[in-house]
């Protein structure tokens, strides 16, 4: 008797109505480039309160850029050469937006030059590369020796983790503290930080020994904070999610 009552109370058209409503939801989602495989997922989607999403390329532009920097006094004469020559990355400028070829962090530094109207390829062609120490996870830095077009002398350029590069440089306590303050401010904003330095070498002075930098007393060029910018439409999407109770 109970089963008969339950069947009798259930509208005959209810399954069709539910299927039709879910089908309309699937059509609506398809117009927003979302393909629904199971109709009941439409109902589940309407009741979510936590949304987990990937960050890189979804919330961000998947393009590392220099967001903040602090250069030392006089660094302007060497910084372009340091970035262009001490790098294995390149930029693809064939499209509307430049794209990085190679390491994203190195590409961010090249984009920094590009935004300032500096052609990194011209600088590379003007400077003869003499030696290079590639980046690895143990050293935490990369170094290149070039015949500088600025003064014709051998110059060692170094970039890498600030805690390693700063130990190679001759800095006063005030200069060191000022740089550390800038680094902490960048790191508190979840930026990836790099330090850049250089040294003009004597003709017979060895730059490397046993896979490490032998030269000491480097000159600090500055520090840079690199981040992956948030996509333009993300703040609005996040606001709509919060309004929906997610």
- Residues with a catalytic annotation lie at 54
HSE, side-chain direction, 13 A CA sphere, residue 159: 24
Give the integer Cα–Cα distance in Å for 37 and 87.
46
Alpha-carbon dihedral 121, 109, 201, 163, rounded to 10 degrees: -160
SS3 letters across the chain? CHHHHHHHHCCCCHHHHHHHHHHHHHHHHHCCCCCCCCCHHHHHHCCCCCCCCCCCCCCECCCCEEEEEEECCCHHHCHHHHHHHCCCCEEECCCCCCEEECCHHHHHHHHHHHHCCCCHHHHHHHCEEEEEECCCCCCCEEEEEEECCCCCCEEEEEEECHHHHHHHECCCHHHHHHHHHHHHHHHCCCCEEEEEEEEEECCCCCCEECCEECCCCEEEEEEEEEECCECCCHHHHHHHHHHCCC
């Amino acid at each position: 008797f109970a089963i008969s009552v339950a069947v009798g109370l259930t509208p005959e058209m209810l399954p069709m109505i539910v299927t039709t409503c879910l089908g309309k939801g699937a059509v609506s989602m398809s117009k927003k480039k979302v393909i629904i495989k199971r109709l009941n997922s439409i109902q589940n989607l309407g009741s979510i309160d936590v949304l987990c999403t990937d960050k890189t390329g979804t919330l961000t532009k998947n393009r590392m850029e220099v967001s903040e920097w602090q250069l030392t006094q006089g660094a302007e004469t060497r910084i372009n050469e340091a970035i262009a020559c001490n790098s294995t990355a390149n930029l693809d400028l064939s499209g509307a937006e430049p794209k990085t070829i190679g390491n994203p962090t190195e590409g961010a530094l090249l984009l920094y030059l590009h935004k300032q109207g500096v052609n990194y390829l011209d600088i590379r062609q003007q400077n003869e590369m003499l030696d290079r120490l590639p980046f690895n996870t143990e050293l935490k830095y990369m170094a290149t020796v070039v015949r500088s077009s600025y003064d014709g002398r051998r110059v060692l350029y170094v970039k890498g983790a600030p805690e390693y590069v700063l130990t190679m440089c001759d800095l006063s306590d005030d200069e060191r503290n000022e740089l550390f303050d800038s680094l902490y401010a960048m790191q508190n904003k979840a930026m990836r930080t790099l330090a850049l330095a250089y040294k003009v070498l004597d003709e017979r002075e060895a730059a490397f020994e046993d896979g490490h930098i032998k030269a000491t007393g480097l000159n600090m060029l500055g520090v840079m904070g690199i981040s992956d910018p948030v996509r333009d439409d993300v703040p609005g999407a996040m606001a709509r999610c919060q309004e929906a109770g997610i």
